[in-house]
């Protein structure tokens, strides 16, 4: 009996935490606009008015600063998401530096998987974006759960922070998602982030590092991230791709006079 119970729970866990899958059937009228997906731990979702289950849609998972209201985090992205036809999921950043993040990871991934149950999400176009301390958490998620996302954009300290010792790049041959990092070169963490980026590229990661001024506007940065994501998605098409080194892809400070 105990053996049966164990395997039943194991199968349930696999279903609960499996990556987003394509091919599900969708019925009824889907909710669109900006609304709360979960209230206990606030999690907001934006769905474009043009959403239709007749095609698959890209999903952006957005992590803000630790403790920020996710509604305030997602609102600056709504107009962009409507125009770009992205669904945006903004869960609370509940990370506690003094605790193991495993439980928070599972809750966040559960929210992500619910998207695939309610909406027709393209699993090949799931972009993880982190801002501020959310960038550090997103870096950790992208390295530790690469099967959940196709790419990650980190607007902030990226590899530098309390989760650094828990970041475990997968073994050779495992999936490695590309990373886009935007960080002010004057930031104290920049040398560490740059060094870690070179190290990860040596392990087979695609890294783009942008030198970004602290007061840079979000709108043009979003467009660059979107174009980068489209380029990386195109590279996933069959066929060999040319190798590019990080030193060749470090972008200039686009906000200098």
6 within a domain of the structure (yes/no): no
What is residue 225's predicted lDDT score, i.e. its pLDDT? Answer: 94
* Contact residues for 36 (Cβ-Cβ < 8 A; gap 6+): 42, 43, 44, 45, 71
Q: What radius of gyration do the chain's Cα atoms show?
A: 18
Contact assessment for residue 192 and residue 169, using Cβ atoms and an 8 Å cutoff: no
Q: What percent of the chain has pLDDT over 70?
A: 78
Residue length, the chain? 257
- pTM of the entire structure? 0.82
Q: Which of 25-34, 52-61, 201-210, 240-249 has the lowest mean pLDDT?
A: 240-249
The answer to whether residue 28 is domain-embedded is no
- The CATH number given to whatever domain includes residue 72 is 3.40.50.1820
Q: Give the structural domain span for 132.
A: 38-249
Decide if 170 is inside a domain: yes
134: nearest Cα among 183, 180, 73, 93: 93
78 located within any domain: yes
Does residue 13 sit within a domain? no
How do residues 56-71 score in pLDDT, each as one tens digit? Answer: 999 999 999 988 999 9
Residues 3-29: tens digit of each pLDDT: 433 333 433 343 444 454 444 455 567
- Both tokens assigned to 242: 């040319």
Do the domain assignments include residue 5? no
33 part of a folded domain: no
The H or E element containing residue 232 is helix 218-235
Task: Count structural domains, the chain.
Answer: 1
**Residue 139: inside a domain, yes or no?**
yes
Residue 10 token pair: 């194991």
Spatial strand order of the sheet with 179-183 comes to 33-38, 43-47, 87-91, 57-63, 121-131, 151-155, 179-183, 207-211
């Amino acid at each position: 009996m105990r053996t049966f119970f164990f395997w039943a729970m194991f199968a349930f866990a696999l279903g609960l935490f499996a990556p987003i899958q394509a091919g599900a059937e969708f019925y009824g009228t889907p909710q669109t606009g900006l609304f709360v997906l979960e209230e206990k731990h606030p999690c907001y979702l934006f769905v474009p008015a043009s959403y239709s289950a007749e095609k698959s849609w890209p999903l952006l998972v957005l992590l803000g600063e630790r403790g920020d209201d996710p509604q305030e985090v997602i609102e600056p992205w709504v107009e962009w998401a409507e125009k770009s036809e992205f669904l945006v999921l903004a869960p609370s950043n509940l990370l506690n530096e003094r605790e193991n993040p495993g439980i928070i990871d599972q809750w966040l991934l559960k929210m992500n998987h619910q998207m695939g149950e309610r909406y027709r999400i393209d699993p090949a176009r799931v972009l993880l974006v982190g801002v501020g301390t959310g960038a550090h958490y997103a870096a950790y998620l992208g390295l530790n759960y690469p099967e959940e996302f196709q790419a990650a954009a980190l607007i902030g300290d990226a590899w530098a922070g309390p989760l650094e010792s828990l970041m475990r790049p997968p073994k050779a041959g495992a999936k490695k998602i590309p990373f886009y990092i935007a960080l002010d070169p004057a930031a104290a963490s920049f040398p560490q982030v740059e060094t870690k980026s070179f190290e990860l590229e040596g392990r087979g990661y695609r890294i783009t590092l942008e030198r970004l001024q602290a007061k840079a506007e979000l709108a043009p940065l979003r467009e660059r991230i979107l174009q980068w994501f489209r380029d990386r998605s195109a590279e996933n098409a069959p066929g060999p791709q040319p190798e590019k080194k990080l030193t060749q892809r470090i972008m200039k400070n686009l906000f200098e006079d």
